[in-house]
Amino acid sequence: MKLRKDIWETIVIGKVSLITSGYAFKSFQFKDTGIPVIKIKDIKPPIATTSNSDCIDEIDFDSKKLAKYILKKGDVLIAMTGATIGKVGKYANDEIALLNQRVAKIEEVENISDKEFLFHSISTDKFVKYSLGRGASTAQQNISTEVLGQFEILLPPLSEQKQIASLFQSIETAMEQVDGQEKNLHQLKHKLLKDLFSEKQEFGNHLKAKDFETVKFEKIAINISERVEPKKTELTTYVGLEHLDAENLKIERTGTPHDVIGTKLKIYKGDIIFGKRRAYLRKVAVSHFDGIASAHSMILRANEKNIEKDFLPYFMQSDTFMNRAVQISEGSLSPTIKNKTLAVQEFILPKKEKQKELISIFKQFDTTMEQLKQQKTTLKNLKHKLLNEILG
């Protein structure tokens, strides 16, 4: 792509676009069903969706009064207030939605600007800094459509705008494809785990009923309850339940012992951390370091006499284990599993001698999904770099 930057014009975006803020709906108008209303919370760059949106009843919908606030797929939205001020997202749903106040919509001007190009022009670090810097210092920082309109962009000829937009669209398409592959792999792994630990006691051509046995949880997992005082330990890594992601055996985030108070649990490299509080959140991870963990977790170590060490975490990711964990949890506000209760639970598992082949299958899933995550990160970084180099 050959760009003729020498003829690009520096111009305020309000001169080449139409910026409209949303309608001030009243809180009593919002319902659980009806026509969705996009609020700031619905903008999750680079998209905005109605997955958790409030709605207004179709009876209250006045098409004439609200015409300019109607959103269609692909509309470009800007958060105008709060912690997400300056964040940009494209409306991603097929159904129409309505624009709430504190969110602005930016539209192209025919034969002058391209909507996709405008979207990428305000997806830069420069635009976020501008929005934060020009936001009014009230009880909650906010920015007006007039101030948004004063943001300066580089405006190429319309043909080049479309070329640049096409470049970024190709990167976004690649990211969406990776997302789809990751989702499909996750669903397939989930199905295989469900089939493997079902009561059918078979697994394709690999396992038949004779290859399974019924075992108590205490026979395959040893509960480790070594206690640590955060202020007295030399360990440097803390894992709370907030650091664990559902359906992910890898610990992506950690804290430090200085972040917490009260007695915690010691973890060793290779131990399993299981969120025994609110088990329905499905938090299980394998520690790749020595450290300390939340007392709301359960620290488990495979009993290698009865189970392969690397097999236990995959079993604990299965619906069979998680559904049982939820069933035996006690308490209404913050249901928690007692160690003794879990220890006596019986499960049907493949015999130990059959587990190594299964481990290799599930490890390949995890390896491939990690590669896809890295691809997605690479594409995201490429897009960010190009955005700021070309348009920043």
Pair type for strands 35-38 and 97-99: parallel
For residue 284, which of 327, 337, 333 has the smallest C-alpha distance?
A: 337
pTM over 0.85: no
Confidence at residue 192, expressed as pLDDT on a 0 to 100 scale = 93
pLDDT at residue 164 is higher than 90: yes
- At residue 109, the 3 state secondary structure works out as coil
Confidence of residue 139 (pLDDT cuts 50, 70, 90): low
State which fold the 7-156 domain adopts: Adenine-n6-DNA-methyltransferase TaqI; Chain A, domain 2 (3.90.220)
Mean pLDDT across 234-243 = 96
Mean pLDDT value across residues 365-392: 92
Average pLDDT, whole number, for the chain?
93
Report the range of poorest mean pLDDT among 24-28, 105-109, 289-293, 370-374: 24-28
Domain ranges (residues) in the chain: 7-156, 191-352
* DSSP letters spanning 10-54: EEEGGGSEEEEE-B---GGGEESSSEEEE-GGGEETTEE--TT-E
Q: What is the pLDDT of residue 203?
A: 87
pLDDT the model gives residue 291: 97
According to the model, what pLDDT value does residue 383 have? 93
pLDDT at 141: 78
Q: Which residues contact 294 (CB under 8 A, 6 or more apart)?
A: 239, 240, 241, 260, 264, 265
Would you say the CATH fold of 191-352 matches that of 7-156? Answer: yes
Query: How much of the chain is helix, strand and coil, in % rounded to 5?
Result: 40, 25, 35
State the maximum Cα–Cα separation within the chain, in Å, rounded to a whole number.
76
Per-residue confidence (pLDDT) for residue 138, from 0 to 100: 55
Quote the pLDDT of residue 6.
Answer: 86
| Alpha carbon distance 35, 21 (integer Å) | 18
Stretch 354-373: mean pLDDT, rounded? Answer: 94
For 191-352, the fitting CATH number among 3.90.220.20, 3.40.50.2300, 3.30.1360.120, 3.20.20.60 is 3.90.220.20
Is a pLDDT exceeding 70 seen at residue 195? Answer: yes
